[in-house]
C-alpha cells in the first residue's frame, strides 16, 4: 500500500462511516415517538425562521441553491475522473453529502414519520365506491356553482384575477384547520414563489415543490389556472408541516372548500372531483365518463384546456420524473405518486 494514500483512505473511511452512522441514527429516530415529536416541534420553529430570512427575496432562493448544488456536483464528477484531483474531489463530495443529508433530515426528512392523519379521524373505514359516487355528485354540483363566480379569458377558460389575494387567503385559511387534524404553528409570513424551472417543469408532470432548505413553496406558473390555486395550497400545506403528499392534498382540500375566495374554492372542489372520478374510474368507467359529460360548459372548457396542456407537454421527462418521484415517495413510507386512494380515504372518512 502506498503510504502517501493512508491519510486519504482514513479520511475517506471516516466520512463514509459518518454517513452510514447517520442512516442508522435517523432510522432509529424514525421508530421513536419521542424523537418524531421532537422534530415536529423543531420544524414549527425553524420553518418560520427560514421564511423570515428568505421571504423578502423576489426570486426563489431555494432554486438558486439547487443550481449551486448541481454545478458543484458536476464539477466534482469531472474532477473524479482526473487523477490529480480525484482524492480531493472524493473527499469533499463525501463531506458535502454528509452535510446535505443531515440538514435535510433535521429540517424535513423526519416529518414523513408523523402520525398519519387517518389515525386522527374518528372514522377509519376503507374507501367505498358507492360513497365515492355520492361524494362525486356532490362536488360536481359544488364545482359547477363555484365556477360561475370566477373570471374567464377571452376563450372562456378560468383565469386567476388576483394571485396575491389568493395566496393570502390560503395562508389565512390554514389557521382554521380542525385541531384534531393539525396543531401546527401557523405560517407567520408568505413565502410562495414562481419556480425558476417552470418551463422545464411543464414537461415533468410536477406542478410544484417545497424546498426544505429555505422553507419556500414553489409552483409552476405555466400551469392552467384551474390547477394553480390548489397547487399553491398543496405546497403551502407542506410548508405548514404536512410531509406526506396525500395529506398535503387533504390539508389543501380543507383550506380550499372552506374559503370564501371563489378561485381557491373552485380549484379545490374541481381537484376533489377529479380525484374521486379517478378512483371511481378503476371500478366503474361508465359512471365516471357519464359524470364528466355532466360538467357545466365552463368546466368542460377548463378540462379541455388542461388536457391540451398535458398533451402538449407529455414526453420522456414526465416518465423519468414520475418514476423517480414514485421511488422517493415509497422510500418515505408513502403510497407513491400514482396512488390517490389515501386522499380519497381521508376525504370519505372526514365527510362521514
Domain boundary among 113, 146, 169: 113
Q: Are residues 50 and 157 in the same domain?
A: no
| DSSP SS3 for 213 | coil
Q: Are residues 203 and 64 in the same domain?
A: no
Q: Are residues 229 and 286 in the same domain?
A: yes
Q: Are residues 178 and 304 in the same domain?
A: yes
Quickly list H helices, 175-261. 198-201, 228-240, 245-257
Domain boundary among 113, 134, 159: 113
Residue 330 to residues 22, 26, 235, 333, 335, Cα–Cα distance (Å): 20, 17, 19, 5, 6
Domain boundary among 72, 90, 113: 113
CB of 256 closer than 8 Å to CB of 233 = yes
Q: What is the pLDDT along the chain (352 residues), one digit of tens a residue?
A: 455 565 666 777 888 889 999 999 999 999 999 999 999 999 999 999 999 999 999 999 999 999 999 999 999 989 888 877 778 888 889 999 999 999 999 999 999 999 999 998 877 777 789 999 999 999 999 999 999 999 999 999 999 999 999 999 999 999 999 988 888 988 989 999 999 999 888 888 889 999 999 999 999 999 999 999 999 999 999 999 999 999 999 999 999 999 999 999 999 999 999 999 999 998 899 999 999 999 999 999 999 999 999 888 776 544 433 444 444 444 445 454 445 588 999 999 888 7
- Cell, residue 208: 410544484
Q: Are residues 172 and 319 in the same domain?
A: yes
Count of structural domains within the chain:
2
In tens, the pLDDT along 161-203 reads: 999 999 999 999 999 999 888 889 889 899 999 999 998 888 8
User: Domain residues for 125?
Assistant: 119-351
Residue 159 to residues 35, 44, 173, 206, Cα–Cα distance (Å): 44, 34, 21, 20
Q: Are residues 83 and 100 in the same domain?
A: yes
Q: Are residues 88 and 140 in the same domain?
A: no
Q: Provide the terminal-to-terminal Cα distance of the chain, rounded to the nearest Å.
A: 70
Q: Are residues 222 and 346 in the same domain?
A: yes
Please calculate the CA angle 40-46-49 and round it to the nearest 5 degrees: 150
CA 292 – CA 310 distance, rounded (Å)? 18
Q: Are residues 212 and 268 in the same domain?
A: yes
Residues in a beta bridge with 151: 159
Q: Are residues 190 and 100 in the same domain?
A: no
Q: Are residues 237 and 135 in the same domain?
A: yes
CA 11 – CA 32 distance, rounded (Å)? 32
Q: Are residues 133 and 214 in the same domain?
A: yes
Amino acid at each position: 500500500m502506498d503510504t502517501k494514500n493512508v491519510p486519504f483512505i482514513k479520511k475517506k473511511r471516516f466520512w463514509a462511516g459518518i454517513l452510514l452512522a447517520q442512516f442508522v441514527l435517523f432510522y432509529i429516530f424514525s421508530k421513536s415517538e419521542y424523537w418524531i415529536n421532537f422534530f415536529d416541534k423543531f420544524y414549527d420553529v425553524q420553518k418560520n425562521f427560514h421564511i423570515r430570512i428568505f421571504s423578502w427575496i423576489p426570486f426563489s432562493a431555494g432554486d438558486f441553491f439547487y443550481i449551486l448544488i448541481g454545478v458543484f456536483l458536476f464539477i466534482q464528477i469531472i474532477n473524479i475522473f482526473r487523477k490529480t484531483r480525484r482524492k480531493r474531489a472524493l473527499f469533499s463530495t463525501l463531506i458535502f453529502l454528509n452535510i446535505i443529508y443531515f440538514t435535510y433530515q433535521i429540517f424535513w426528512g423526519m416529518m414523513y414519520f408523523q402520525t398519519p392523519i387517518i389515525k386522527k379521524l374518528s372514522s377509519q373505514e376503507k374507501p367505498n365506491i358507492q360513497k365515492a359516487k355520492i361524494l362525486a355528485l356532490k362536488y360536481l354540483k359544488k364545482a359547477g356553482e363555484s365556477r360561475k363566480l370566477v373570471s374567464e379569458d377571452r376563450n372562456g377558460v378560468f383565469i386567476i384575477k388576483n394571485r396575491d389575494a389568493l395566496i393570502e387567503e390560503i395562508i389565512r385559511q390554514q389557521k382554521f384547520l380542525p385541531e384534531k387534524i393539525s396543531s401546527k404553528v401557523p405560517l407567520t409570513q408568505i413565502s410562495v414563489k414562481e419556480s425558476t424551472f417552470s418551463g422545464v417543469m411543464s414537461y415533468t408532470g410536477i406542478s410544484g415543490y417545497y424546498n426544505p432548505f429555505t422553507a419556500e413553496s414553489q409552483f409552476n406558473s405555466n400551469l392552467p389556472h384551474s390547477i394553480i390555486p390548489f397547487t399553491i395550497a398543496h405546497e403551502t400545506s407542506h410548508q405548514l408541516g404536512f410531509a406526506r403528499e396525500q395529506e398535503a392534498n387533504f390539508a389543501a382540500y380543507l383550506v380550499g372548500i372552506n374559503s370564501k375566495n371563489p378561485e381557491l374554492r373552485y380549484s379545490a372542489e374541481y381537484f376533489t372531483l377529479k380525484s374521486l372520478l379517478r378512483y371511481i374510474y378503476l371500478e366503474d368507467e361508465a359512471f365516471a365518463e357519464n359524470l364528466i359529460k355532466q360538467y357545466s360548459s365552463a368546466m368542460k372548457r377548463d378540462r379541455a384546456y388542461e388536457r391540451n396542456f398535458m398533451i402538449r407537454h407529455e414526453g420522456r421527462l414526465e416518465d423519468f420524473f414520475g418514476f423517480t418521484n414514485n421511488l422517493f415517495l415509497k422510500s418515505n413510507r408513502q403510497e407513491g405518486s400514482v396512488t390517490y386512494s389515501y386522499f380519497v380515504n381521508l376525504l370519505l372518512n372526514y365527510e362521514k
